[in-house]
Structure 1
Amino acid sequence: MLKVVIIGSGNVAQHLIKAFRNSQKVELVQAYARHAENLLHLLDADKITSSFDAITEADVYIISVSDDAISGVSSQLPFKDRLVVHTSGSVALDQLNIKNRRGVFYPLQTFSKSKEVNFTKIPFCLESEKESDYKVLEELALAISPLLYAIDSIQRQSLHVAAVFVNNFTNHLYAVGSEICTENNISFDILKPLIQETAAKIEQLSPLDAQTGPAKRNDRKTIQKHLDFLKDENQIAIYNLLTQSIQKTNV
């Protein structure tokens, strides 16, 4: 059974704690948090430390903190030649301090503390400097998910950019749509079946083939009606930019 220490207390760290806590193949021996109270709802107090010097021995140390803090945290670890990984999609493996064996354990998913996730449907992107360490990360990932991918730092950067488009930007468009509905006394719930069908369609069609709407049809009258309706300059700019992008893609 693999022994794991998680360093961090944010969204990803908390979801990993829950997943490993429920696994029969992983022993979560400890978690580090600057403020121990942030993890008391998940772990007993004796399994939480706020001191780097008190971090216990384990097979894998998972740094799950903000991207800007990863390098500094890895430098503060008081041991050498142990397997230390981070969970970031945009930070290269070489940003971890070289005193330890380095790797990446990146779960490609959106995490919110208030929303449970099913780890069996989350892909893990793995990277390590040594093949033997990759085998350890593979074993660790398989303990909670069957979806594993060997992804290097350059590939992971491109994957993270793509993820921002399909997740963060898309969710922002939901927020824009919700705002328009609210302003016109319409329930956003009416749009949810459309959102679900749009997401489900790409299980069978490529995103290019699944594209519909006035921009793809070059329906200029409808496009102009929409632009005339919108009053918010930011919404108009987004509408114009996405319309032009769709038209360029579907020439």
Structure 2
Amino acid sequence: MRISFIGAGRVAHHLVHALQNKHQIVQIYSRTQMHAQDLAQRAGAEAVSALHQLDVNIDLLIIAVSDSAISSVIADVHEYLPQVLAVHTSGSTDIAKLTAVHARAGVLYPLQTFSLEREIDWSNTPIFVEAVLQNDEQNLHALAAELSQRVYVYDSVQRLSLHLAAVFACNFSNYCYDMAKQVVDAKAVDFSLLYPLILETAKKATAADPKVMQTGPAMRKDENILQMHQQMLEQGQREDLAQVYGLMSSQIIKRHDGA
């Protein structure tokens, strides 16, 4: 396939890297020319900074931009590439944002956290596809299957539930790691001492129902420990962490009340 990208951020970076040996990456568009040039050079593609420069002779246009920019981007894209299959990579944006102005619309959503510093295990990354036209959906499914063994056809409502769940499982849990590091940093304690615990917790959560795997003072309703922890945070003038600790502890107690 001849594929072009709009966007040169983390998602685009990883998708381009994964697809460039299997398909021809034609162009990379970014409002920041330097970003487009950097990614295009890696893929042997052309960097463009104006949408009217987009090559119409492509099979697929992948829109990998922020959710808030998708509507305006597809409106501009339709003016120049009205017949091209255009897909976004968002988990939380309804396909209707594309179909409102562009008939050949679809979604190619990889459920993963992307950082430029880390490689992705695409073979085990779930990828979700959707398209208006059946033939386009089949082509997207085939494309995704070249990357991953786990390809699913999900609609926008299902993807949104996954994206919300991912915020809890990934973004919020990572912030918990950040808070944990702040706690030990304040006492000059090595954060890496928590690595085995973090990894074992993730293994348990993926091996069984997370509710069943819950441990800790809130689970045990150990008021002495809960109060001691709260006092430590308050005395350390970390009211922000104390609030999170109190809220999460109370929710764990409610979740397991009578269990």
TM-score by length of 2: 0.91
> 2:86 maps to which residue?
84
Q: Which runs of 5+ in 2 are unaligned?
A: none
> 2:15 maps to which residue?
16
> 2:96 maps to which residue?
94
Question: 2:225 matched to 1:222?
Answer: yes
Give the letter aligned to residue 256 of structure 2. Answer: N
- Identical positions, percent: 37
Give the counterpart of 2:31 among 25, 29, 34.
34
Give the counterpart of 1:123 among 103, 121, 126.
126
Structure with greater proportional helix content: 2
State whether residues 14 and 39 of structure 1, in contact with CA within 8 Å, keep that contact through their aligned partners in structure 2. no
Moved more, 125-134 or 96-105: 96-105
> 2:203 maps to which residue?
200
Equivalent-residue separation in structure 2 for 1:139 and 1:55 (angstroms)? 25
Q: Residues 62-211 of structure 1: matches in 2 within 5 Å?
A: 62-77=62-77, 78-96=80-98, 97-211=100-214
Equivalent-residue separation in structure 1 for 2:134 and 2:33 (angstroms)? 35
Moved more, 93-102 or 129-138: 93-102
State whether residues 215 and 244 of structure 1, in contact with CA within 8 Å, keep that contact through their aligned partners in structure 2. yes
Give the letter aligned to residue 247 of structure 1. Answer: I
State whether residues 82 and 101 of structure 1, in contact with CA within 8 Å, keep that contact through their aligned partners in structure 2. yes
1:43 is displaced (CA, Å) by 2.7
Give the letter aligned to residue 59 of structure 2. Answer: D
State whether residues 29 and 48 of structure 2, in contact with CA within 8 Å, keep that contact through their aligned partners in structure 1. yes
Decide whether aligned partners of structure 1 residues 46 and 166 sit closer, same or farther in structure 2, where only a CA change above 3 A counts.
closer
Q: Number of residues paired by the alignment? A: 248
Q: Deviations over 1:220-243 (max 9, x none)?
A: 111111111112111111011111
Give the letter aligned to residue 243 of structure 1. Answer: S
Equivalent-residue separation in structure 2 for 1:90 and 1:5 (angstroms)? 22
> 1:47 maps to which residue?
46
Moved more, 48-57 or 85-94: 48-57
State whether residues 84 and 100 of structure 1, in contact with CA within 8 Å, keep that contact through their aligned partners in structure 2. no
Equivalent-residue separation in structure 2 for 1:99 and 1:203 (angstroms)? 39
Give the letter aligned to residue 128 of structure 2. Answer: C
Give the letter aligned to residue 84 of structure 2. Answer: R
1:175 is displaced (CA, Å) by 0.6
Equivalent-residue separation in structure 1 for 2:127 and 2:2 (angstroms)? 19
Give the letter aligned to residue 19 of structure 2. Answer: F
SS in 1 for 2:207: coil
List structure 1 segments (4+ residues) > 6 angstroms apart after TM superposition.
none
SS in 2 for 1:110: coil
1:127 is displaced (CA, Å) by 1.1
Equivalent-residue separation in structure 1 for 2:97 and 2:191 (angstroms)? 42
Question: 2:58 matched to 1:58?
Answer: yes
State whether residues 28 and 39 of structure 2, in contact with CA within 8 Å, keep that contact through their aligned partners in structure 1. no
1:108 is displaced (CA, Å) by 0.8
Give the counterpart of 2:244 among 213, 216, 238.
238
Equivalent-residue separation in structure 1 for 2:245 and 2:206 (angstroms)? 26
Q: Deviations over 1:46-103 (max 9, x none)?
A: 5211121221221111100111111111111112122110001111101115334111
Give the letter aligned to residue 146 of structure 1. Answer: Q
Equivalent-residue separation in structure 2 for 1:66 and 1:143 (angstroms)? 25
State whether residues 106 and 124 of structure 1, in contact with CA within 8 Å, keep that contact through their aligned partners in structure 2. yes
Equivalent-residue separation in structure 2 for 1:243 and 1:155 (angstroms)? 29
Equivalent-residue separation in structure 2 for 1:17 and 1:39 (angstroms)? 12
